[in-house]
């Protein structure tokens, strides 16, 4: 007769990983739109990235609301009488609302051709956009009982992923524009490299942790999760683009576009595994 373990469902399902992926691109595109005010080479991407960011924000917002088991109560989170500021989710909700408002004003300024207000609003939008990956990373890192999640590096990793995936989408939007792609190549190269280094650091810490960490490491490096994390996320989505972009051929447009696609596939896979794998061990406790 075997042991009897009561199974538990994971708390957050894969739709949350899709939200992480989308909101990362939103933030990355906002950085590019702001960058266009500082770097002339990115100027052709200013409007494109602002509009794409806003459309994806709407999509991500709807996804987040639909993921609640009581979607119509999403307004509760904005009710000042209910709001609890010790929760990263509460800060995230405030951040998203502020970012949405800033994005609307920024797009209006862009449409009206108001250069003065546009520059200021681009800065505000980019600063609020920085809060999106930071809060999503925080959202995971505050759970002290979860291996991998509970690391202070998580918000930083999410910022690097946002820069990488946003730049990748920017590179695809700027296909044919060699000047913009030259700048975006730099962004992708250094952010993909940073992601790879942080993943090595997280996995090293996890492998040398306690029983739960050890099991989570085993889960993240073997089977389907292993294929997604090590294969797609780490090797194909971080190391390969960093090597390709660093190599002498990395300045050609084809390589930049291939690297962008690899980064997008990798960052989607990483979000999925980083969200789902650390929840698995807990389901059996």
Partner 1 sequence: MSEGPGVSGGGKRRYAMVVDTRRCIGCMACQVACKAEYDTPLGVNRTWVPYKVVGKYPNVKKQFLPRLCNHCEDPPCVRNCPVEATFVVEDGGFVLQRYERCIGCRSCMAACPYNARFMLPSHRTYTPITNVVDKCTFCFHRVTQNLVPACVQTCIGRSRVFGDLNDPNSEVSYLVAKNATQVLRPEQGTKPHVFYIGADRNATEFGRDAYHKPEVMELERSAFKRNFKI
Which residues make up the interface to partner 1 (CB under 8 A)?
1-9, 11-12, 67-70, 73-74, 76-77, 79, 82-84, 86-90, 93, 139, 142-146, 210-212, 214-215, 218-219, 279, 281-285
Cα-based distances in Å from 199 to 12, 158, 245: 21, 11, 19
Tell me whether residue 86 or residue 254 sits nearer to partner 1 (CB atom).
86
Distance CA(31)–CA(49), nearest Å, equals 9
Smallest gap, in angstroms, from Cβ of residue 272 to partner 1? 16
Tell me whether residue 41 or residue 90 sits nearer to partner 1 (CB atom).
90
Tell me whether residue 4 or residue 248 sits nearer to partner 1 (CB atom).
4
Tell me whether residue 88 or residue 266 sits nearer to partner 1 (CB atom).
88
The whole-angstrom distance between residue 42's C-alpha and the CA centroid of its chain comes to 21
Tell me whether residue 38 or residue 73 sits nearer to partner 1 (CB atom).
73
Cα-based distances in Å from 169 to 24, 66, 104, 140, 162: 11, 25, 21, 25, 11
Cα-based distances in Å from 91 to 42, 52, 78, 246: 31, 24, 10, 37
Cα-based distances in Å from 61 to 72, 129, 200, 267, 276: 13, 14, 31, 19, 21
Smallest gap, in angstroms, from Cβ of residue 214 to partner 1? 7
Smallest gap, in angstroms, from Cβ of residue 155 to partner 1? 16
Smallest gap, in angstroms, from Cβ of residue 224 to partner 1? 13
Smallest gap, in angstroms, from Cβ of residue 219 to partner 1? 8
Question: Could you tell me which residues come within 8 angstroms of residue 180 by beta carbon, excluding any fewer than 6 positions away?
Answer: 41, 42, 44, 45, 170, 171, 174
Smallest gap, in angstroms, from Cβ of residue 213 to partner 1? 9
- Residue 44 has which token pair? 């052709």
DSSP SS3 for 281: helix
Stated length of the chain: 285
Distance CA(2)–CA(233), nearest Å, equals 36
Smallest gap, in angstroms, from Cβ of residue 63 to partner 1? 13
Smallest gap, in angstroms, from Cβ of residue 26 to partner 1? 20
Tell me whether residue 8 or residue 251 sits nearer to partner 1 (CB atom).
8
Tell me whether residue 62 or residue 284 sits nearer to partner 1 (CB atom).
284
Distance CA(109)–CA(48), nearest Å, equals 14
Tell me whether residue 87 or residue 112 sits nearer to partner 1 (CB atom).
87
Distance CA(127)–CA(188), nearest Å, equals 20
């Amino acid at each position: 007769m075997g042991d009897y373990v009561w199974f538990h469902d994971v708390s957050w399902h894969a739709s949350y990983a899709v939200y992480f992926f989308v909101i990362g691109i939103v933030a990355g595109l906002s950085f590019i739109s702001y960058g266009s005010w500082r770097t002339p080479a990115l100027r052709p991407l200013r409007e494109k990235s602002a509009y794409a960011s806003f459309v994806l924000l709407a999509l991500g917002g709807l996804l987040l609301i639909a993921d609640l088991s009581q979607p119509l109560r999403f307004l509760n989170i904005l009710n000042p009488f209910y709001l609890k500021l010790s929760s990263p989710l509460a800060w995230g909700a405030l951040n998203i609302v502020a970012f949405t408002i800033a994005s609307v004003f920024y797009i209006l300024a862009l449409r009206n051709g108001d250069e003065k207000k546009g520059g200021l609003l681009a800065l505000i939008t980019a600063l609020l956009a920085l809060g999106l990956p930071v809060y999503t990373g925080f959202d995971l890192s505050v759970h002290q009982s979860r291996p991998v999640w509970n690391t202070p590096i998580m918000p930083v990793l999410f910022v690097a992923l946002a820069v990488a995936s946003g730049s990748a989408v920017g590179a695809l939007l700027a296909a044919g524009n060699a000047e913009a792609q030259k700048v975006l190549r730099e962004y992708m190269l250094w952010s993909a490299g940073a992601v790879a280094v942080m993943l090595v650091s997280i996995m090293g810490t996890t492998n040398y942790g306690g029983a739960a960490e050890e099991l989570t490491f085993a889960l993240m490096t073997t089977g389907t999760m292993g294929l997604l994390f090590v294969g797609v996320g780490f090797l194909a989505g971080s190391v390969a683009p960093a090597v390709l972009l660093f190599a002498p051929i990395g300045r050609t447009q084809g390589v930049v576009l291939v690297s962008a696609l690899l980064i997008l596939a990798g960052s989607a896979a990483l979000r999925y595994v980083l969200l789902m794998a650390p929840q698995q061990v807990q389901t059996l406790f």
